Structure 1
């Protein structure tokens, strides 16, 4: 029994060391993205040596291959890259891509690189250091870190605004591929669709591209739609979802509700209800449905995203199905249906009747 207790105590110590430095994983991956290591390997067409990688790093004035060797050693252990060692022990190790590093390619349509650069930027890391302060005295973590809320910070800081929009756009492409592949019948009967909080419009553009009969409206704050590119079949409208939402047969909201408190979500939903037909209208919410005890592929990430909401939102949170039910009913949507898709998020169809 004493041996088991000693083993458990040692394991506990090892766990704390691991969690203490878990940020090292994200910083190493961020480094790989900034150096475009995955892109360099991909452009070569197969595994290459560290010397070849270093020679192709953009703007590398005096590269240090020893630093890169140590960073790549950890990334190989984390299965971000592969390492092929010569069988005879003579020659250089060749580094290749994995299914994970393919999500770090800058020029791929299905890339998480912009989101990673956004989330791991010092601007967005700073609020995480305010968690204990938030527990002690309440308030908004982003505000404590930067003296203003995230939306005000974005409207005043073009560099941050672009970083944020690029991050949102890349995740929109990934999630929209999953939605369009699974939710075929859901869009078929919709003639007009307004994407509330649609950013620069990439999500609604993807829907309209797959369903050309839909008249799409991309609706977001004026400073956001000001930088939005033109898309066929999509109209950009600036405004405030807490004031009014453009009329359409259906309202689409991807990763919007989790940014807000229950009270704010009820306000948004009430405006959605006014914007859609009483009999045939619906709201399509794409967000996390938390499974705190779940063992699904993304259930653990869902809990992390709930903490992300503390760091970056103005009182937002991820919700369990019961919490969604309460918010939907409060906003005038007594009937709903949850549809699983191959992604971190789920589709929640909500109806006024």
Structure 2
């Protein structure tokens, strides 16, 4: 190797080493992105800008925050700087040379909360970054060493028991899950197209407060919708036209319907528990013509799609939250369904974080 090649190799190694260091620094502080995002939601900054009808200065944004007795414009500027860098907000110099003006982007429109702004991911931002929710993430390494549930290690009980005993946490959790209904279901309903046409009734297992099944019924008014979840969950469910709320335990019995629908339910559970749930689903649908419709992430670890890397992070969220919960790859889904007595399945990609998985018992 000549001196030129040696020099080039040395420079390449130095560059890779520096890049490696930079990557670690970035990962160390990535939580700052989530915290800045949460701050914007809590301060209702996207709503303030939209209400005004156009970009605002920092002073104008502060004036729109109703509960700010001692506003700190420097603090806001530093948070907005990070959010602009992440393209959550735009920043442009005023035409008269005055203060920088901050506007909405395609991203911040997903953080609007005021009437007429649905769908919104704002409640999910607050829920996922809730201190009680975040506590279990600190136990992942301990789970590697000794197994067990990170959430139980953090709180002494599983997430379902914790929600039952903590109304405020339960409210945040339900709001976070409900907001995903319109966001995810918009992609599911448009992408699944004719999948609900021939179905007279659908039971949404683990349907929370009923937002998801209400979206299905709204798009397919001929469907009789059943929202099925734990009694304390459906007790807080509002009324929806065409939807009946039923409380119960999916491990014991599921209400009968032409089809079972589940969105982000099976990822909460181990394979063993999923087989039990799916067996109950099979008993709930008509023999020979029923089907189970599953809206879940299908992991693509090397994928480059819009949501592929997010799927890996959601898988870690399951590790931090649920005992045995996980996201699954296509082969893992096929294997799980076959073990549960669903030899025929079909995966449909839609414009959402989840895919649609049809499963048939024959």
TM-score, with structure 1 as normaliser: 0.98
Task: Choose which of 103, 106, 109 in structure 2 pairs with 1:99.
Answer: 106
Trace 1:245-260 onto structure 2 (pairs within 5 A): 245-260=254-269
In structure 2, C-alpha distance between the alignment counterparts of 1:5 and 1:20, rounded to whole Å: 23
1:85 to 87, 93, 112: 93
Report Cα offsets for 1:70-100 as digits up to 9, x if no partner.
1111111111101111367x31111100000
Q: Quote the Cα distance in structure 2 between the aligned partners of 1:55 and 1:271.
A: 55
1:238-284 CA-partner distances (Å, limit 9, x unpaired): 00000110011100000000000000000000000011111110000
**Alignment-derived partner of residue 152 in structure 2:** 143
Q: Which residue of 1 aligns with 2:84?
A: 76
User: Which ranges of structure 1 fall in alignment gaps of 5 or more residues?
Assistant: none
Counterpart Cα distance in 2 of 1:325 and 1:181: 24
Task: Name the CA distance, whole Å, in 2 between partners of 1:251 and 1:285.
Answer: 8
Find the counterpart in structure 2 of residue 296 from structure 1: 305
Aligned positions of 1:1-353 closer than 5 A:
1-86=9-94, 90-107=97-114, 108-353=117-362
Note the C-alpha offset of 1:331. Answer: 1.0
* Cα distance in 1, alignment partners of residues 59 and 271 from structure 2: 53
Q: Distance in 2 between matches of 1:17 and 1:200?
A: 41
Q: TM-score, structure 2 length as denominator? A: 0.96
Whole-Å Cα distance in 2 between the matches of residues 190 and 78 of structure 1?
A: 43
Counterparts of 1:187 and 1:245, CA distance in 2: 19
- 1:145-164 CA distances to partner (integer Å, 9 max, x unpaired)? 11110000001111011100
Any conservation in 1 of the 2:140–2:320 contact (CA below 8 Å)?
Answer: yes
After TM superposition, what 4+ stretches of structure 1 lie above 2 angstroms from structure 2? none
Q: CA RMSD in A?
A: 0.8
Structure 2 contact 292–359 (Cα < 8 Å) conserved: yes
Q: How many residues align?
A: 352
What's the secondary structure of 1:336's corresponding residue? Answer: strand
Shift of 1:220: 0.1
